[in-house]
Amino acid sequence: SQELEQSPQSLIVQEGKNLTINCTSSKTLYGLYWYKQKYGEGLIFLMMLQKGGEEKSHEKITAKLDEKKQQSSLHITASQPSHAGIYLCGADSSNYQLIWGAGTKLIIKP
Amino acid sequence: EAGVAQSPRYKIIEKRQSVAFWCNPISGHATLYWYQQILGQGPKLLIQFQNNGVVDDSQLPKDRFSAERLKGVDSTLKIQPAKLEDSAVYLCASGPGPNYGYTFGSGTRLTVV
């Protein structure tokens, strides 16, 4: 079965600094989603990547899917307190199922 | 476009009591998921519906959990009786399927005491 591994598990970053979160799949990714979650709340959709080498940006967040479609990275530039939360990557599996990484907890230090 | 609606937002019950959660997906979305998310972990799929049929309920603890999707629209998830380890956030999501994304509700935070 396909698995998603996220790294790091948690991250503490000084406000204004850049950071990167990685998501690695055990199998080829056919649809990779990045979501953000505030503690105890629902998931907010950030971006979806499908094609090898694809890169998308929204405000200060950029997500990339590598050419082999087995790894994705999420990069935040000039981090702000509003970026704090849990970042989850999800992928389409068979039977329309979504599988998930365990999440990366991001803390922004003022 | 209205989002996925879930209620209640929070619920505190004693162990062995029963509880029900409600989800109203985005209109037209055929696929509906219920997830359980324990603090510090990624979401765990409980059950997946395609219209009003069950696609996957292999991880649903059927001795205490049940779910239904009425007429392929709204869905309810029930726990009876609840255990302490059921304390979690229960997330509902709907979507048209792969390549088109999924929308999550705000979740119901359940605390079993």
Average pLDDT of the residues in A43-48 = 89
Residues in A touching B98 (Cβ below 8 Å): 30-31, 92, 96
Separation of alpha carbons A19 and A9, rounded Å: 13
| Contact across the interface for A43 and B101, Cβ inside 8 Å | no
Residues in B touching A40 (Cβ below 8 Å): 39, 89, 107, 109
A87 is written with which tokens? 């970042």
Q: What percentage of chain B exceeds 90 in pLDDT?
A: 69
A76-103: pLDDT as tens digits:
999 999 999 999 999 887 666 778 898 9
Average pLDDT of the residues in A19-43 = 88
The answer to whether residues B37 and B30 touch, using CB atoms and an 8 Å cutoff, is no
Is the pLDDT at B22 greater than 90? The verdict is: yes
CA atoms within 13 A on the CB side of A107: 5
Residue of chain A whose alpha carbon sits nearest to that of B102: A45
B9 is written with which tokens? 């937002």
The answer to whether residues A25 and A4 touch, using CB atoms and an 8 Å cutoff, is yes
A33: which residues sit within 8 A by CB, 6+ positions away?
A: A45, A46, A47, A48, A49, A89, A90, A91, A98, B101, B102
**What pLDDT does residue B52 have?**
84
Least confident of A37-46, B17-26, B27-36: A37-46
Residues in A touching B11 (Cβ below 8 Å): none
| Contact across the interface for A44 and B104, Cβ inside 8 Å | yes
Is the pLDDT at B82 greater than 70? The verdict is: yes
Q: Name the more confident of A59 and B12.
A: B12
Three-state DSSP class for B72? helix
Separation of alpha carbons B8 and B72, rounded Å: 21
Residues of chain A contacting B, Cβ within 8 Å: 30-31, 33, 35, 40-45, 48, 50, 88, 90, 92, 95-98, 100-103, 105
